[in-house]
Structure 1
């Protein structure tokens, strides 16, 4: 008993320790990520340290998804700091991990990041290829999960393509991708303003000459980003500079390009926009014949371009070298997979051949067995049906013969009744002619005792008829409830092929009355002149 208590105590203690350690690890990961994000735009180097630390910690814990997330964040930070070489390496390393763990969500984000990198180098076809890879994955994920997150990331892909076409002055296609962004926005947040799309829309308005509309949108966006994301003012002011330049307001254009430079230096973000600002300022000053300032910014443009994209640049070395870790690792994996695949195919080929032989023999046997069994079943069913038909035929024939015989007997009985009545009538007639020698009253009483009334004759006939033809009256009453008793009597006598004269005698009415009854009966049965009453009655 004490041993069980100790065991339970140790079990709960161990569980508590494990849960505590797990919680501490989660808090540690969350704390590292929070620190990195907080320092991202203030102290990029410190933020990079924490992103890398979080990446390594999660690799040790074998939390691949978290490790990939840290690596993507680190690569994005390097891209903002124009350290494209490290950003490039980070994205490919993350892609290797994402593909190993089949993490499609992260794979799409990595493809988008690579697309941005190639767009910075003006390698537009490569950039568009990776953006489209990301879009394709996002669309497939949306088929399974139509969540706000998936829609938002698809919108960010469209935004990236929009930016690519806009910076390359292809405003028609840029407008199409802007419309796609707004369509997703209407699905996700129909009642809210999308301040990241508004600046792009404003610039496209400016390219059409709608400067007032464009500036209004950009100014409202500037107020929003001052409160919510000050670093994005680098882009807003760069766009304002471009719009004022299109408007030919050089003074305001210079002001906003310089403001974009100032914010970029203070926030240490969007450093690639400095080249855009330097180049624009150089061109504007040249147009104003301010050659000193034009040369100054031209020199800064060249210097910055050389630092980032020059032949001696670390960034350029990374993108020009094909021997990156991802591709080498991918080639090794592909070789290993191909070798295994070849061996597997050879084994499968042998196994498949053997299986095919066995399956073929089995199928032939099965088909043969099914054919023989089916033929046996069909023959048995045919024989059973034939026997049943013969039995049914004999049964029906016998019933018809019995019915015919009984109907004949019934007819003969009815005729005897008629003959009896005729005989008695003739006796009456003879007696009436010899009234003097015979006691007429005595004779009449005797005749009355043996003579039946028409009603009693009919009852006797009906009783016999019903006994033989049990279902006839039932069907007649069910199908034609409007028929009277006289109509039913006529039907019964017609079924036995009685002539009108015999009907009259049996029913105790005149022949004319029989004809009248037959005529009324035809009307009630809805028969035409061409219809045969006898045939119709016999079908019932």
Structure 2
């Protein structure tokens, strides 16, 4: 008996050494991959790919492998297509309480959902990561985290929280001495201030960003800074930064983009030939937005020269491109919503299979643990229970019966799962048919809306022609001049402004301006801009609606603000336009007599 005991102990000791050696090798590989992550991310990805069966690792090693693999994909600019790997790391580190790893897992999980177009879940995980990491010493990761949160809020047009997190990111990047990320974050803050029409603050942040920027970003930052100076009227500085951007041009599209800025500056400084030359060159861009802006500025240019036919032609090209951009944006939005819907369906099905896989994995772990324990107990008690052979045989038979029973249960489960899969496939087919019907219905509706918009455009052009020719209509042999004021105040547009429209949107406002400037009160908005060149678009809307005698409460409803805000704005506008203090009623009288 003692002779049998020694070989068994030796075999057990050898197996333990072998297992420890494998664990040390995996731990060393993961550590090496993490050390390469910043300087050689492709090398780190190759090392992680060398692990053939990561599911066979221990829970700790598997969680670290999933976290590092997700990070390596991001460092190598590989777009994430699923959150299954990073969720393994998230679940493990949530229970393990390892704070720095938990913050990393939350952060990269947010990045994965950002790639999957799920902004809400990305924001949720970013906020979790910030709550965990704000007490840790990790300025680089916290800076990227706050910058991503700021970008998400900016995308949702929530500018105040976006500014808060972008400024926190600046502090972290300064602490980490990361000048590249610092310059990009400062530029993003400047863009937010541009969206809020706070151009002085935008200029300050653009200027600071240029001090830290690299050559790859200097062209775009200089061009955006030139545009900001153009908006505030400092054309000399605007031209200096525009030419600085021009000196950094590498591609034809970059040249067209900077030419558009130069053309705008030269137009505002009265250098018409140079403006026309740069605007014309900008039309060669392959970027639809650049070409669209070029046509819009060429229309303005011809309008200043009173070349009405050329202005109308350029305006028509601008409208066509703008409609194309809006249609493209609409189709991209539909595609994004459709992909998000399809992703949620697939993820729901994957979650079901993931739970089943976890259940089977747990079952295998329990089976392996039970078998190991049974083997160890068998070795230990063999010296004491050698004579109880029958009892041992009964135990083995019982174990076989248990395995046979579990095998039968697994077969029944597989049958039930196959039936469930067939039902799910049928449901997916039905949903796909419904989605295709919805897309066809939306496309038909879009075509109808396009026809109606074209019809309204033709009507407006006809009214402009009638106005320019002072049309006289014969009625029963009597020549009568058309009363355009009466036509307008009985039109659908006026009824929409007074009662029907819930809000004045971006498509309705240009039509109102065209009617005011070309039909009712010739060049009304241009005259207002002459009195107050820096007037905002919202203040111009208040002036126009007051000119049309729209009640204050109705103006507030159309602009989605309260009546007190409109009253205060009318008082301030009176001071800006007349340089005299007065009340809101004084503003109404001034506008109606203007």
TM-score grouping bracket, smaller chain normalisation = 0.3 to 0.5
- TM-score norm. by structure 1 comes to 0.39
Taking structure 2 as the reference length, the TM-score comes to 0.36
Ranked by relative contact order (alpha carbons within 8 Å, sequence separation 6 or more), the top structure is: 1
